[in-house]
Structure formats: structure tokens, C-alpha cells
Structure 1
Amino acid sequence: MFVLKRTALSALCLSLILPCTAQVLAQETPAADADAAPATRQALSERSQEDAQALERQLPKDEQQTLQAGSDSFLALWKPANTPAPEGVVIIVPGAGESADWPRTVGPLRRKFPDAKWASLSLSLPDLLAESPVARKETPAPPPQPDKDVKGAPAKATPADANANIAQATAAETENSESAEAPASTDPAASEKADAERIFARLDAAVAYAQQQNARSVVLLGSGSGAYWSARYISERQPPQVQKLVMVAAQNPARVEHSLDSLAATLKLPTADFYYANQAGARQAAVNRLQASKRLKDSSYHQVALTAMPGNQAAEQEQLFRRIRGWLSPQAVD
């Protein structure tokens, strides 16, 4: 009888232990498989997309327009002119790192133009492909190999320079990680061409939208590197709907083949170059553009010097707006 009870007790214990063991193994197996497979880091969204999403949450819906440029859709901010007879549409092209409502130049101008009989359409530009992050695969570290002595047998003693080996391994791992994070190298000319096509497609969409609003006149206004892309767009595409170009604090983007000096002076339409004369770098770049225009006959290029006002951004932006309005509509200057 005692033997039967003992056997029954053992069977009961086994029936309780085995399901628990199977459950633990089932939970550990996927983890082991996950450790064995290389992990793929998802590609990050463009900074410009994040900026546009933030503006969609902050600004009134009636100012937001989603335009289509090929397979890409992008945010543009629209404000109609506050008059029954508007002068036209000013398409504002922000520079690198600027959003469609950037607090300097872009945002203030897009809000001021409607009271000066000009509608405003401020664009979101894509990130340059050369600066876009890419997804990468994290390769698992190889298993450690035991040190061997001269005869090939595994060494038993810990080497005296063990800490040095660890430091070297850590440095190598950091170097490999940094190189994996870097964007994949591409042909600079191909990247520049692809960037231009993406930006030109958005400008085409903006001009088409302005035409849908029955605009009497269309003006491109580029801020920073946006001035370069606007000038290049007009130079290469020569859109007949665009009558004037305004450049504000113009800059060349990084790693482009043609500089703004060779573009702005050759444009056939009236071009106004607004620059801050008390900034040495901007002043010298403006001198180069002016000299390039003087070498051409019948140039429509015009420069306007401004004064930067550190600490008084409101007055600086009002000065900029009044000078641009005076150039666009001389009869409206008060």
C-alpha cells in the first residue's frame, strides 16, 4: 500500500512539473530566435515631414492645403488676399531647415502679404537626399574565441593585457556602429539631380495651384537656399506663369554644381535680391552676384540692401516686408 501511494504521488508531481517546463521552453524559444536574427532599424521620417505634421496640429485647417507633386503629397499654407481685386500670388520657398511657417522671413511674410493685396502660398520642401537617414542592419557580435598558446592549446591563464583587449574591441565596435549609421554614399551629381527634380515638382504644383486661384501674377520668393532653388527652377523650367523672383538672404546649398552667382544674373524676368549689408559674408556674396549681373547686357537683376536688427526681429521683418512690397507694387508704398 505504501508503495502504491508513493508511486501515485510521484506521478502527480510529474503531471504538475511537465506543463510548467513546456511553457517556459515555449517562452524562451522565440527570444532565442529573435537574438539570432539580425535586427533591422526602421528608416526615420524626414525632418520636413515632422515639421509639416507639427504645423497641421497648430495652424487653422482653412490655411492648410495638401498639394500633389508626382507620387509625393506635401503641405502648403494658403492665405488669400484680403481684397476683391488681388494683385496675385506670392509663392514662398523656405530654405534648408526652415518650415512653411518659419518665424523668420517665411512666417511673417506669408501673414503680411494678404493685407497688401497679395495672396501667399508657403511651401514645405523635402529634405535633401544626401542628408536623409537610412535603415541599417545590426549584425550580432561573433562569439568570443579563446586565446591560444604557442602550441595551439587553449590558454588557461587570463592575459595581463585583458583590459587593453576589451578597450580595443569596444573602440572597433563603436567605429563600426558609426560607419553603419552614416548615409550610404551616392554619386553627388545624381543626388543633386534627384533633389532638384523633387523640389521642381513641388514648385510646379504650387504654380498650378496659384493658377487655379485665377492669379493675375505669380511671384516666387525664396528664403536662404530656397532662393537658389527658385532661381534654378526658373532658369531650367522657364515657367511662363511666373513673372518675378524675390530672393531674401540668398544662400547656396551645400554640394551643388552651379552657384547662385551664375544663375540669378542670367534670368530673363525681373529679379530682386534683398540682402543684409551689415553681415560681412552676405555682403560679399551680394557683391559677387552684382558683378556677375554687370557683365551681362539688359540684365533684369536688382539689389536691395537691408539692415539686420539683432534683438528687434519685429522691426527687421517689417522693414523687409515694406521693401519687398515697394518693389512688387510701387504704387502701394505709403
Structure 2
Amino acid sequence: MSLKILVGTLALLVPLGAWAEETGTQSAPDTAPDAPVAVRPALAERSALEAQELARRLPQQAVPLQAGDERFVALHLPANDGQPKGLVILLPGNGENADWPLVIGPLRKRLPDAGWHTLSLSMPDADEPLPGRATAAEAAPETAPPADTEADASQAAGNLPDSPPSEAGYLPAETADPLDEEPEPAVEPEPTEPPPGQAERISARIDSALAFARQQQAATIVLLGHGTGAYWAARYLQERAPADIRQLLMVQVRAPANQEPSLEQLLGELRLATGDFYFEDRGPARAAARERLNTSRRLRHPDYRQVALQALPADRASEQELLYRRIRGWLARQLQP
């Protein structure tokens, strides 16, 4: 009787053991699934972040404009006059925003008192990489060798794969006909257009600002640039030559790096009223202003005028007030018949 019980018990244990082995094999995969690759979102431009902050602080003045495929923020203030004289479009320099505390901010807030609408643009970041920032090629890690490199090295050393021979006595690689396997056609990547550069983006933003000024039915439209913004304003006028802009104001004009044509060439080709404001107490600025004046004389510019200002580093408020008065006076003289 005990022998029958022992045989029955063993008969039950065998299926259980096979079931446990099969279950364990299915629950434990040979290889772990690949972990998902984390995609880092593209970082927003510094200028775009500053523009968003300005729109948050000044919601009543912020105007969203469209320039090509991108949107940007401009700050608009109407003239404090029942009969406005026109609209001044302000272009900040590299690294500045639409409410920069020097030149751009004071002028956009004070010119409405003189009867001018103001529209201050937020400019895109410069194309030049930041100091110490590695390029994409330098920052990319070295690519891993192909997966079959070790197999190729093993075959080169005489270590053939452990493939069983066929019935004819040949290895599968020797019996396969290369003509039977057609290679898959190479898929060529679709051509992609390069992103627009700084010059194209700035021109698109000035186009959008001009469209806004025309919607306001401004009697006179003036471009005013500070630093590199003055260069981009002159370049836009030289390339596009809009008929409804006849005045250009430049304050501490500076040409961006690696840009052609040169500032002197642009000013020589412009034939509209141009006001060049600079601080004469600064040596390099004074020398550059002298060169621009000589260029205008050689090319017989019809209406180019320079205005030298005294720099007051210890009293920025008085310095900006003096600049505002000289700009206001220059605009008033241009409106005289």
C-alpha cells in the first residue's frame, strides 16, 4: 500500500516541476527591454525669455507680432497728443531687450510726450556662439563601433561561427546564392531648409513692425537703432528701401562681427535723412564717428548729420535726458517744411 502511495506522489510532482520550469522561463526574458531615451527639449533663446518677462510685467504695452514662422513681442506706447506726428520703431542692440534702461527704454517712454508713437522690438539672439560653448561637433560623443565588428575580427582570426553544415556538406554561407537576395534600396533623407539666420529674422521683424505702423496710419515712420540695432536698421533700409521711411536715427552705432557690407558702405549708399548720435568722450567711438563723417563727405551724402553728446557715467539720468532732448529736436526739424 505504501508503494502505491509513493508512486502516486511522484506522478504528481513531475507535472508540477515541469510547470514551474516552464513558468519561470516565460516570466524571465533573456534580455531586459531597452530603457526609453530621454529627449531634452530645445532651450529657448535668452531674448525670447526676456521678451516673455516683459510681456508679463507690461501686459497693456506688449504687442504680439508675427515675423515669418515665429512670433515675437514688441512694446507699444501711443502718443500723448491728439495729433500724433508719427511712429518711431526702436531696434535694441545685441544683448538688449525692448525696455533696455539705456537709450531704448528712456526714449520709448519719453517720445510719446513729444507726440510720437513708439514701438520697441525684441531682437533675436546673435548668430555668434557664446564664449566657452562647445560646438555641436565638439560636444557629440564618439560613435560606438558597429555591432558586427567583433564578429568580423573573429572571422579574420580564423574563428568560424558554429553553424552546422547542411546535408550537402557546405556551410549556409557557401550554399546561399547572392543573386537571390536583393539589397534594400537606400532611403535618402528629405532635404531640409536651414533655419533663417539673424539677418533674415531681423528683416522679418522690421517688416512686421512696418505693417503694424501702417495699420496705425502713422503720418511719418522713423527707424531708430541703438548699437548693433542701428546697423541692422541701416542695412534694412539699404536693401529694402521702403518708400514711407525717410528718416534713420543711430545712437552709438556699432557693426556686428562678421557682417557685410560694412557700416560705412551702408551709410554711403543711403540717401535719406540720417542722424548719427555718439558720445564724444569715448575715444574709439569718437574715432569711428570721424571716419563715418569723412565717408559721408566723400560720397556727398545729401542729409547726413552727426550729433556729439557728452557722456555722464556718474549721472545716467541726466545723460539720457540730454539724449532725449537732442533726438526730439532732430525729429522736430525734420518735420519743418
* Structure 1 length-normalised TM: 0.72
Number of residue pairs aligned between Structure 1 and Structure 2: 281
Q: How does 1:5-16 map to 2 (within 5 A)?
A: none
| Compared CA separation, residues 221 and 108, structure 1 to 2 (3 A) | same
> Equivalents in 1 of 2:27, 2:319: separation in Å?
74
Asked if residue 30 in structure 1 is aligned to residue 29 in structure 2, the reply is no
- What residue is the counterpart of 2:172 in the other structure? none
- What residue is the counterpart of 2:267 in the other structure? 264
- What residue is the counterpart of 2:254 in the other structure? 251
> Equivalents in 1 of 2:274, 2:246: separation in Å?
9
Q: What residue identity is the alignment partner of 1:112? A: R
Q: By how many angstroms is 1:244 displaced?
A: 0.8
- What residue is the counterpart of 1:49 in the other structure? 48
Bigger shift: residues 116-125 or 127-136: 127-136
- Unpaired runs of 5+ in structure 2? 1-5, 151-156, 158-193
| Compared CA separation, residues 257 and 57, structure 1 to 2 (3 A) | same
Q: By how many angstroms is 1:311 displaced?
A: 2.7
Q: What residue identity is the alignment partner of 1:120? A: T
Asked if residue 128 in structure 1 is aligned to residue 95 in structure 2, the reply is no
- What residue is the counterpart of 1:317 in the other structure? 320
Q: What residue identity is the alignment partner of 1:30? A: D
Matched residue of 1:81: which SS? coil
- What residue is the counterpart of 2:287 in the other structure? 284
Percent of pairs identical after alignment? Answer: 47
- Unpaired runs of 5+ in structure 1? 146-151, 153-189
Q: What residue identity is the alignment partner of 1:322? A: R
Q: CA deviation digits over 1:267-290, x for unaligned, max 9?
A: 211100000101111111100100
Larger radius of gyration: 2
Matched residue of 2:34: which SS? helix
* Structure 2 length-normalised TM: 0.71
Q: What residue identity is the alignment partner of 1:117? A: G
Q: By how many angstroms is 1:40 displaced?
A: 6.0
- What residue is the counterpart of 1:67 in the other structure? 65
Q: What residue identity is the alignment partner of 2:53? A: A
- What residue is the counterpart of 2:224 in the other structure? 221
Matched residue of 2:269: which SS? coil
> Equivalents in 2 of 1:280, 1:43: separation in Å?
42
| Compared CA separation, residues 142 and 80, structure 1 to 2 (3 A) | same
- What residue is the counterpart of 2:309 in the other structure? 306
- What residue is the counterpart of 1:275 in the other structure? 278
Question: 4+ runs of 1 displaced by more than 4 Å?
Answer: 1-4, 13-22, 39-42, 132-143
Q: By how many angstroms is 1:250 displaced?
A: 0.2
Please say if residues 75 and 123 of structure 1, whose CA atoms lie closer than 8 Å, have aligned partners that are also in contact: yes
Q: How does 1:185-200 map to 2 (within 5 A)?
A: 194-200=197-203
Q: What residue identity is the alignment partner of 1:283? A: R
> Equivalents in 2 of 1:283, 1:131: separation in Å?
29
Q: Which has the higher helix share?
A: 1
Q: By how many angstroms is 1:20 displaced?
A: 9.2
> Equivalents in 2 of 1:74, 1:299: separation in Å?
36
Q: CA deviation digits over 1:120-163, x for unaligned, max 9?
A: 000112223454998675456679x9xxxxxx9xxxxxxxxxxx
